[in-house]
Amino acid sequence: MNMADHFNLYPLKVFAATVADCMDFPLPESYCPGVSWVSNILKERMGGAADRVVLYHADAVGHYIWQKYTSLFAPVYQHTSLALPMLSTVESVTPVAHASMYTGLDPEQHGIMTYTRPQLTCHTLFDEWIAAGMKVAIVAQADSTFLHIFKGRELEYYEAPNALGVQEKALELIATDKYDVISIHTFDYDNAAHAFGPESKQALNAVSIEAEGFDRIAKALAVHKDKHRTLLTYSPDHGQHLTAGGNGSHGSKMIEDMNVVHFFGTI
């Protein structure tokens, strides 16, 4: 870290309650409070509380990728109106970060503090939604952390081999107009960034694939816009930094790993 580094303000644990507040959905006190000015703006734009949420988690897309390659996010801007700088967890790895996002807890509290993927036994946002009778789906790439730490719930799990396959499945589910909540996890960028470096041609191409999928998902949601107030988010878990060997890595407290930006849209 150097003097020019600034860590983003809001920790990922605010995500759960911020989303729930957009739905006027009460959460137990264990959840870190949401960012109320964000949920208030979004509810105002929707004309009320969301009755549907679709949460797109493009893995490992760091804040500086947005700063340096802003135009790649045009398909995300198309359907969102609010960008919020967020700070990943320590360690800045997928299961730690996503557990915090869906429990509103710090890593010491939810218990996943490093790259392990036990089934979470503490309450998650998924459990709250299910207890309220909502229909929930997770659509994720094969071996996604979501399919490990959030398994064993009364929700529907779908998997596909890559981001495009996941996006196709999400489009199918959206077309049925049956789901209250769809969480989507793709990691084509993470894979390419690990292999070739976070700013490699292959990795930046994957940012586009994931952003363009977000655009198709938003358009599919818009088909039902007269019947629903939908919250749509683009919510990465952590970033990646370039290693001396030219590959990508994460897990550290480096600014490249820690700072991400979340986008929120209303349909």
Only segment of 4-12, 13-21, 61-69, 87-95 that touches Zn ion (CB under 5 A): 87-95
Q: Which of 127, 188, 237, 257 touches Zn ion (CB under 5 A)?
A: 237
Nearer to Zn ion, 60 or 99 (CB): 60
Is 94 one of the binding residues for Zn ion (CB under 5 A)? yes
User: Count of residues binding Zn ion (CB under 5 A)?
Assistant: 4
CB-based contact 56:254 (threshold 8 Å): no
Only segment of 6-14, 19-27, 34-42, 93-101 that touches Zn ion (CB under 5 A): 93-101
What the block records as the tokens of 254 is 């480096």
- Cα–Cα distance measured from residue 229 to residue 251, given in angstroms and rounded to the nearest whole number: 36
Q: How far is the CB of 85 from Zn ion (least distance, A)?
A: 18
Nearer to Zn ion, 21 or 237 (CB): 237
Only segment of 71-79, 163-171, 210-218, 237-245 that touches Zn ion (CB under 5 A): 237-245
Per DSSP bridges, beta strands 82-87 and 10-11 are parallel
DSSP secondary structure, 53-80, as one string: EEEEEETT--HHHHHHSGGGGHHHHTT-
| Pick from 44, 50, 1: nearest CA to 21 | 50
* Cα-trace Rg, the chain: 17
- CB neighbour list of residue 23: distance below 8 Å, 6 or more residues apart: 49, 50, 51, 53, 231
Nearer to Zn ion, 60 or 120 (CB): 60
Residues 19-58 that bind Zn ion (CB under 5 A): none
Is 91 one of the binding residues for Zn ion (CB under 5 A)? no
Nearer to Zn ion, 219 or 249 (CB): 249
Is 59 one of the binding residues for Zn ion (CB under 5 A)? yes
- Cα–Cα distance measured from residue 151 to residue 126, given in angstroms and rounded to the nearest whole number: 10
Nearer to Zn ion, 17 or 60 (CB): 60
Which parts of this chain interact with Zn ion (CB under 5 A)? 59-60, 94, 237
